[in-house]
Amino acid sequence: MGRYVLGFQEIDQTQVAVVGGKGAHLGELSRIEGIRVPAGFCVTTSAFQRIMAEAPSIDDRLDRLARLKPDDREAIRTLSAEIRRTLEEIAIPDDLAAAIIRSLARLGEQDAYAVRSSATAEDLPTASFAGQQDTYLNVVGPAAILQHVSRCWASLFSERAVTYRLRNGVDQRKVQMAVVVQRMVDPQAAGILFTADPVTGNRKVASVEASFGLGEALVSGLVNADVYKVRGGEVIAKAVATKKLAIYAAPTGGTQEQAIEPERQVQPALTDAQVVRLAQLGRRVEAHFGRPQDIEWCLVDDDFQIVQSRPITTLFPIPAADDQENHVYVSVGHGQMMTDAMKPLGLSLWQLTAARPMYEAGGRLFVDVTQGLASPASRAGLLDVLGRGDPLIRDALQTILDRGDFIPSLPDEGPRVAPAGGAPPAPIESDPAIVTELIEWSQASIAALKRDIQAKSGSALLDFILGGIKELRRILFDPQSHQVIMAGFEATWWLNDHLQTWLGERNAADTLTQSVPHNVTSEMGLALLDVADVIRPHPDVVTFLQHVEDQGLLDEGFLNELPRLAGRQEAQDAIRAWLSNYGMRCVGEIDITKPRWSERPTILVPMILSNIKNFEPGTAKRHFERGRQEASKKEQELLERLRVLPDGERKVVEVKRMIDRVRTFIGYREYPKYGMVSRYFVYKQALLEEAERLVRANVLREQEDIFYLSFQELHDVVRSNQVDVQLISQRKDAFRSYQALTPPRVLTSDGETVAGSYRREDLPAGALVGLPVSAGAVEGRARVILAMAEADLEPGDILVTAYTDPSWTPLFVAIKGLVTEVGGLMTHGAVIAREYGVPAVVGVEHATRLIRDGQRIRVHGTDGYVEILP
């Protein structure tokens, strides 16, 4: 058993397990030259462990807590209250009480103290857990302090703390509680200093919030704070609030509210000079800890005292750069419709596959566009291309350019990126054989890969995969393949631009691209309808599938578990045939570490059952044919309207050529990614076999540990049969923290996340603006779905989600509208929505929060906005 009490001077930041996050930071703060910290000591986790041992009945309650879900509120409330009551009733042993009182005597027994909880899962770099446990201010006298130490121990099991840990996957038993006892100060003003702007993330801007009296008034939300922004040693923005109340220490202990006299309410709590001085102290603290800090401060007789500092855990990390220059980064995930955090193996494989350098931050990838923005030769084209993909990215970049002080203007040099949509695209013959040959080339390459990889293992396997990625890059960036994709894109843009000019027809290409050939992603959704057709006539198989989850069948084995029912063989054959074509796909498929449908085929069962319930036999064929006919009808209508215009025959010839080009080539846009994902799955299966060998050799603890290594690191492990277990553990912790972050579309090297806007004033009141990507207007029930596996859609529903990648396509056959938070004109969800004839608006900021599940909404897919209906 360790010591029960440690003074701040005996503590540093390595002792979180002994004194908790708050205690460790206070001890470390006390060591920084020029930083004043009110004196105090910590009652260590050893004392808490001893108290817990006095109450064996808590063990059973902790077991029951561990089995609860975060939403089991009543059970959490009951169990946590029982644990708190038990802890508060345990008498502190005499020797422990004496150790606390001796430390008090050294500081002054009758002084006033703050008694503050300090959990071991608190104020950590990956999660702050702030406000989950209790703090008591102005506690006077040894008896009162001992009582409040017990209350702090008990507050580890407050309802909010228990629920927070359940939501974050933190073991209730592994968290320990220390208690900070710190001399109270009587401040004129107090508040919070963020050494990075908590709103924009800018690391060069400090933000100060200040109010009169104790900081408790600000933290508890009783008053609005004065807010100051500081950059480069000067206040660059200031907002002085009306402060009607303050909290001060009460003469008899505790705190009390006091009204502030009217003439003082609008006075600033700090002078500008004091704010600048405070920001300088914050920079000293930040430099010591090596990352931006959230600092609690008090002003006593024109002297700042620091009473807490913790990492700011909500800031998005900045890509590492080896220079001190300004950089602007654009999110790769927003273009790929996959904004989730990726594991290191997934990041490194994608970087090896990519055409240009990518930079990692927060488990996401970014492209540095600084050079392109700085050069007048490339700027307009870059903004045009990015804007067509996502107008919010373009607007954010334009915002940075308009400031005029972040990106230097370089000499006019380098390749010029031509804006799209102007003159007719460069000629390419609308020959379906071109697409067919490209697909056959890719398929032959995948077949050769599957054949050749079987004989590889060890370092030879990693070398083989590295060579395979070079082959993949040749296919992905093949000039003819790129020409076909761009021909489809540019013809689409050309048609939309010219038909709006000539006929006033907005987004005409949306209808013209319905049911095009060679779209492997839209074919996937229709093929799952065909699977439903095979299973529908066999009610016993349908009943079995309805209870797959209840039976707890293993994902990869559930097809083999089908009992000998009428239709068993047909169902197995249909699902396996579908998986052979599409089983390499999954949600977030650009990350090789994500589980594929072939690995977890039970994910498909709800979609198959939904198709059986909601559609008639032969729906897939009818759906495709209906789209083809609508496109043909639209084509004839447009050509007839053009003929009567001045120079109509020429316009008809040009438009007909563009329509043929679109329908020949636009479907192929989905194929290169399909081919890439197919190869990724082959690599993954081989790498997992190699990982299993490493597990058998006791090099790795489990197969999926390889996901937390980069490709090169994995190569080194395979070669040496040695692994840094601690590194894998750190990577797992980092990944969990990254999952909680929302990646920005645009990020600067200052850490600023720059948000764009649509800048539209032509919308109804309350409308949610976005990017129109598939024409039409529909009303229906909004189904807000954050995970595809949780989808419970009925025909006529409107899907509202964060993003859709190709894996969501099987759901598109049921919906009649689509709203996403992320997306662009040529991202997968937009392409499939157009092909299926589903009106869609993408890039609607915070759509999943602003629209409630079950609300009726109207989607304006032509005009780019969503209305929430009464």
- Give the C-alpha separation, 701 to 695, whole Å: 6
631 closest CA partner among 653, 664, 654: 664
Bridge partners of residue 747, in order along the sequence? 329, 753
Within 8 A by CB and 6+ apart from 194, the residues are 206, 207, 208, 292, 293, 294, 295, 312
User: Alpha-carbon distance 536 to 524, whole Å?
Assistant: 19
Is beta strand 234-239 parallel, antiparallel or unpaired with respect to 226-231?
A: antiparallel
What's residue 70's pLDDT? Answer: 86
Where the chain has pLDDT below 70, the residues are: 1-2, 122-132, 411-427, 549-557
Q: What is the pLDDT of residues 261-309, one digit of tens each?
A: 998 999 999 999 999 999 999 999 999 999 999 999 999 999 999 999 9
DSSP 636-688: HHHHHHHHTSTTHHHHHHHHHHHHHHHHHHGGGGGHHHHHHHHHHHHHHHHHH
What is the rounded distance in angstroms from the CA atom of residue 140 to the CA atom of residue 460? 71
- Cα–Cα–Cα angle for 166, 168, 169, rounded to 5 degrees: 65
CB 11 within 8 A of CB 111: no
pLDDT for the residue 124: 52
* Closest C-alpha to 754, from 297, 289, 407, 503: 407
For the beta carbon of residue 503, count every other beta carbon within 10 angstroms: 16
Task: Say how many CA atoms lie within 13 Å of 15 toward its Cβ.
Answer: 26
Question: In the numeric block, which tokens belong to residue 510?
Answer: 């949306």
d(CA 333, CA 841): 18
- Model pLDDT, residue 852: 96
pLDDT of residue 421: 43
DSSP 225: P
Phi-psi region of 59 (alpha: psi -120 to 50; beta: other; left: phi over 0): alpha
Q: If you write DSSP's letter for every residue of 194-206 in order, what string do you get?
A: ESS-TTT--TT-E
Asked if residue 584 lies in contact with residue 678, where contact means CB atoms within 8 angstroms, the answer is yes
5 SS3 class: strand
776 conformational bin, left if phi > 0, alpha if psi -120 to 50, beta if neither: left
Strands 840-842 and 817-820, sheet pairing: parallel
Please give the Cα distance from 759 to 754 (Å, whole number). 15
Closest CA to 265 of 229, 236, 224, 297: 224
- 716 SS3 class: helix
Query: What 3-state DSSP class applies to 175?
Result: coil
Residue whose tokens read 């986790």: 45
Q: With H, G, I as helix, E, B as strand and everything else as coil, classify residue 19.
A: helix
Task: Just list the catalytic residues.
Answer: 828
Residue 239 phi, psi (nearest 5) = -135, 110
193, 416, 409, 207: which is closest to 307 by C-alpha?
193
Report how far apart, in Å, the C-alpha atoms of 403 and of each of 336, 406, 408 are: 29, 7, 11
Can you give the pLDDT at residue 418? 44
With beta carbons less than 8 A apart as the criterion, state whether 699 and 721 touch.
Answer: yes
